[in-house]
Amino acid sequence: MGRTGAIRFAVPVNFAAAAAAAVIFGWIGLHSAHGFGGWGGIYSIATGLMTGSSGASDLDNF
């Protein structure tokens, strides 16, 4: 697989991983007893889906 092929493969994988992380952490935020607050969880999901490639940055929203 050439370099462009690897890049084309990596981008959707990163997006999917970031989206999954945003949903998971957002769900934890929505349901956490310690409470990040419901809106924080929703905001995390939304920003995770919009940024896509940077899953780590979604954690900063907490």
- Please spell the DSSP secondary structure of 1-59, one letter per residue: --HHHHHHHHHHHHHHHHHHHHHHHHHHHHH-SS---HHHHHHHHHHHHHH-S-HHHHH
- What is the mean pLDDT of each successive set of 10 residues along the chain, which is 62 residues long? 65 78 73 56 68 52 46
Per-residue model confidence (pLDDT) at position 32: 60
Residues 38/31, Cβ–Cβ less than 8 Å: no
Per-residue model confidence (pLDDT) at position 26: 72
Per-residue model confidence (pLDDT) at position 21: 80
pTM: 0.37
Per-residue model confidence (pLDDT) at position 20: 83
